[in-house]
Amino acid sequence: MAKRDRLSGNEAVAIALRQINPDVFPAFPITPSTEIPQYFASFVANGQVDTEFIPVESEHSSMSAAIGASAAGARSLTATSSCGLAYMWEELYIAASNRLPLALALVNRALSGPININCDHSDSMGARDAGWIQIYAENNQEAYDNMVQAYRISEHKDVRLPIMICQDGFITSHAVENIELLDDEEVKNFVGEYNPENYLLNPECPMAVGPYSITDYYMEAKRNQAEGMSNVSRVVLDVAKEFEGISGRKYGLFEEYCMEDAERAVVMIGSAAGTTKDAIDRLRAQGEKVGLIKIRLFRPFPAEEIAEALKNVKAVAIMDRAESYTNHGGPLGADVMAAMFRARSQALAVNYVYGLGGRDVRVEDMESVFEDLKKIVKDNDAGETYRYLGIRE
């Protein structure tokens, strides 16, 4: 039986991890993700899990230890934010290229500088090319549900890639919401045991991990790695379907909100999607045909499916909670526009940078975006395609 509770996003993820009972959890604290290992350490101390919890001296070490544990045959993970993720940079690529299925509970926070502890997506967006699966949450319930589904995706034999379960720093990580938890037993059965085919601690078959690849092999190795990524979308949908069976909650690669007859749409990631839904509800009440696509799976990027979902819109605003310093917009803007271009979309598209360093995004802000789109449709001209939302000019 599902249980209702009031939890912060960090607490919800920590409870999912208690229910999963992973083998190894090395961690180093950094705001706003600190609570995840903190709550988890209390579960270890109380004997509620039999996880090997390793307090390490840095994020470079926490990811290294998670990688070592995974290669050894354990189900491992760590948690971090912002500069902590930046300090794991090298290891992120090692985990993915060695095809090690491990998890990272990422609580999105701005990268310095100026130094700032609040939410934006600059940390995980910078890591988008590291070969990790990236899944994002709008609220605490989604953060919990995504964590429960994480290992089923990451460890799938056709995938075997590390997975980043992302949620917005403070906005979801520290805000307390009503959420529905699954029974411990249900989660245990859903996630199952981890039985890797090859692992370092297997005395029957010694193994080499991470061997040197000269020029003759490197490119083939990367192509081989990409093959795992090409199976992710299918596995994400399969796992989501099974998860719906135990939870009643439906997940896809992205969520479409009021998109059926939408003429103007917003594409975004994370908690501000909830704000955008409120703006849409207000505008829909006035008869305006507006909708939202909220990205759940960002890596790999479901380009064809998003282009298909946007095929009838006249104008679209793609919202980036990270700068990319291309002078053209952010990473989501680039991916969505490329998808639309390949699908020969005729829609007018603009890209906003918003919410950096925890800047509030209000319902009125999102209403103003739809208002901008209205003008774009009327003028049949996108105008400046690289914009900032909520900036003091």
Partner 1 sequence: MATDITKLGVKATWKDLTEGMIIAGAGTSKDFNTGEWSTEKPEFIEEKCKQCLLCVPVCPDSCIPVKDMKRGAFDYGHCKGCGICVKACPFGAITMEGVK
Interacting residues toward partner 1 by CB under 8 A: 97-100, 160, 197-198, 205-211, 213-214, 216-217, 219-221, 223-225, 227-228
CA–CA separation, 370 and 267 (whole Å): 12
What's the token pair of residue 36? 């995840």
Report residue 273: phi and psi, to 5°: -65, -35
> For partner 1, which is the closer residue by CB, 217 or 388?
217
Whole-number minimum distance, CB 213 to partner 1, in Å?
6
The CA-CA-CA angle for residues 164, 23, 204, to 5°, reads: 110
Whole-number minimum distance, CB 63 to partner 1, in Å?
16
3-state secondary structure of 32: coil
Q: Are 7 and 140 in contact (CB under 8 A)?
A: yes
CA–CA separation, 393 and 220 (whole Å): 49
Whole-number minimum distance, CB 155 to partner 1, in Å?
13
Whole-number minimum distance, CB 96 to partner 1, in Å?
9
Report the first-to-last Cα separation within the chain, whole angstroms.
53
> For partner 1, which is the closer residue by CB, 97 or 134?
97
* CA 226 to chain centroid: 19
Residue with tokens 């990524």: 229
> For partner 1, which is the closer residue by CB, 222 or 328?
222
> For partner 1, which is the closer residue by CB, 31 or 97?
97
Of 343, 155, 365, 187, the closest CA to residue 276 belongs to 365
The CA-CA-CA angle for residues 57, 63, 65, to 5°, reads: 75
CA–CA separation, 313 and 262 (whole Å): 6
What's the token pair of residue 220? 């083939």
> For partner 1, which is the closer residue by CB, 89 or 93?
93
> For partner 1, which is the closer residue by CB, 70 or 233?
70
Whole-number minimum distance, CB 198 to partner 1, in Å?
4
Whole-number minimum distance, CB 52 to partner 1, in Å?
23
Whole-number minimum distance, CB 68 to partner 1, in Å?
14
Alpha helices by DSSP H, 98-170? 122-126, 140-154
What's the token pair of residue 211? 């061997």
> For partner 1, which is the closer residue by CB, 75 or 314?
75
